[in-house]
Amino acid sequence: MKIFELVAVIVLIASLILFNWGCNASDPPQSSNSPVLDFQPNILWLVAEDLSPYIPSFGDSTITTPTLSRLAAEGVRYTRVFSPSGVCAPSRAAIATGMYPSGIGANHMRTGPWYTTKISKEALENSRKHMPPNTFPYEAVPPSEVVMHSEHLRRAGYYTSNNSKEDYQFRKSLTAWDESGPKAHWRNRKPGQPFFAIFNFGVTHESRIWAKSADSLWVDENLDVTVPPYLPDTPVGRKDIRRMYSNIKEMDAQIGRVLAELESDGLLDSTIIFWYSDHGGPLPRQKRLLYDSGLQVPMIVRFPGQWQAGQVDSQLVSFIDFKSTILSLAGLQPPDYLDGRAFLGRYAAASDRQYIHGAADRFDECYDNIRAVRDHRFKYLRNYQYNQSYYLPLSYREQMPIMQELLRLRDSGKLTDAQALWFRTQKPPEELYDTVTDPHELHNLASEPAYQKKLLELRQECDRWLKEIGDQPLLPEAQLIEQFWPSGKQPVTDAPTLLWEARTLTLSANAGAAIGYQILADGAASLTDHWKVYTGPFDIPEGKTVSIVAHRLGYQPSDTLFIPVH
């Protein structure tokens, strides 16, 4: 046995002994699908963009990915993980809140320029130009009790950092992160402080297909690639698919550099590492759609001590489960209001999911309203705008050569039957697919007698889910905005109330708002974005000034209060 393997075994055995020694009758039951840890682990998320399971660890041997293959060998591969949306901003809303985007009004892509920390008037005006009539940039407004995933961990003592994409359909709460930006890193925390760190990798994004077209490839220029039947198997099509694989290899190298930093810091076996992508693939008829090519993502989780190394977990997992799961892994009980459920950790659900759910609505300037339910094998789609094509003429996507090639073939009458399905002028009201025998979801079974029982089951599940989350698929977006921002005006968070006892300050806020504060040395010194999250009464040294703000998601922050202490 190699020395590093022996050390890993010793660490795992020690963890098991210490944990069992410390358990008592009040501890919640441990799931058999959860590692047993006696410490509060670090949690690292490595997030690729726009990527289906196109890597060797998930059955695609077109290229090699050394970093991810090592991570899979030392971790667990989750083979049935799904985003509730085929596009990024609603997906991140689901991850950050633990709630379905279509249940909290975060389902339209995008609601505004909330993907950047500093929002200029120019960015707002540009977003307005790309939104449909009677709408304007707005923030989704989750229920008042909802705070972002990172804030729960901050309150529990974690150092939270995001490097660096913010894309939640609302502006981040001021207290969400210890730091969020291109320099954010776990290395900036206090010594010994547990961390929750996210690193985003944009090289696999849809736009990189055309933006990097002149760059040298990380793969052979004649690499043999498999072309899905709904895409053109032509020189143009194969070139873009090679670019996709090249970008994946580049992402693999970038992941390797972050993991090397973790290992050099001696943190590999005190950290739970998640690698996944934010939704399905970047190519046409993948991104934005509710087929598995748009929703299904690869995920690898590596645990301290390499728990269940090399194993495969085929349970159904939704992005709405991620928030509950990281809280559970940190030993924190997930809030009751969440739509999701933990699949790992102390508070892991006792049984696996039976279904996952998805939604598609506005994408940039075009509307389509679709809902999806999937079990382990069958996919049900409900089309609300069935008198229009699946294909939406999005100017952003049409910058991609393979998309231009599809349109050329369409206009010249040369599409294959599989390719032509996407360009039908009408969609059926319902679709049903066997994802085992028909993984590309090309053969609709909804009208076949042998599948009526399954069709009814998934139709009823769709009805139940829509009612449970309060989804209104045909609610005009202008009316949704009016519900959030009456008369077009964004609501403002109420200022927190203050209670002084000597130099101890107690704060409270209305409507579930989070409170942030800073203690300033020189009066009202210039403020930074690094607000401390208020968790309880604190003392203020004499001669200092405390600045205080309250912020509810989707609202404007309150006015900042400056309180000098003499």
Amino acid at 487: S
DSSP, collapsed to helix, strand or coil, labels residue 454 as helix
- 88 is known as an active-site residue: yes
Q: What is the model's pLDDT at position 566? A: 76
Q: What is the largest CA-CA distance in the chain?
A: 81
Structure tokens at 234: 């032509």
Residue 344 dihedral angles phi and psi, to the nearest 5°: -145, 160
Residue 140 contacts residue 154 (beta carbons within 8 Å): no
**Domain range list for the chain:** 1-39, 360-481, 497-564
Rounded Cα–Cα distance for residues 528 and 323 (Å): 27
pLDDT values of the chain reduced to their tens digit, one per residue, 566 residues: 433 333 343 334 344 333 333 333 334 444 456 777 889 999 999 999 999 999 999 999 999 999 999 999 999 999 999 999 999 999 999 999 999 999 999 999 999 999 877 788 898 988 888 899 999 999 999 999 999 999 999 999 999 999 999 999 999 999 999 999 999 999 999 999 999 999 999 999 999 999 999 999 999 999 999 999 999 999 999 999 999 999 999 999 999 999 999 999 999 999 999 999 999 999 999 999 999 999 999 999 999 999 999 999 999 999 999 999 999 999 999 999 999 999 999 999 999 999 999 999 999 999 999 999 999 999 999 999 999 999 999 999 999 999 999 999 999 999 999 999 999 999 999 999 999 999 999 999 999 999 999 999 999 999 999 999 999 999 999 999 999 999 999 999 999 999 989 889 999 998 789 999 998 876 554 555 689 999 999 998 888 889 999 999 999 999 999 988 87
DSSP 114-151: TTSSS--HHHHHHHHHTS-TT---------TT---HHH
Q: Give the helix/strand (H/E) hosting 202.
A: none
Cis peptide before 110, with omega less than 30 degrees from 0? yes
Q: How many other β-carbons are positioned within 10 Å of the β-carbon of residue 437? A: 9
From the candidate CATH numbers 3.30.1120, 1.20.120, 3.30.750, 1.10.287, the one assigned to the domain spanning 360-481: 3.30.1120
Q: Which residue of the set 23, 88, 366, 462 is catalytic? A: 88
- Sign of the alpha-carbon dihedral angle for 461, 462, 467, 468: positive
Instruction: Give first-to-last CA distance, the chain, whole Å.
Output: 65
Amino acid at the residue 375? D
State the DSSP H helix or E strand holding residue 416, giving kind and residue range, or none if neither. none
CA angle 529, 533, 539 (to 5 degrees): 110
Of 506, 370, 505, nearest in space to 441 by CA: 370
Separation of alpha carbons 41 and 21, rounded Å:
18
| Residue 419, φ and ψ in degrees, nearest 5 | -70, -35
CATH class in words for 497-564: mainly beta
**b/e sequence 107-141, b meaning 16+ C-beta within 10 Å:** bbbbbbbbbeeeeeeebeeebeeebeeebebbbbb
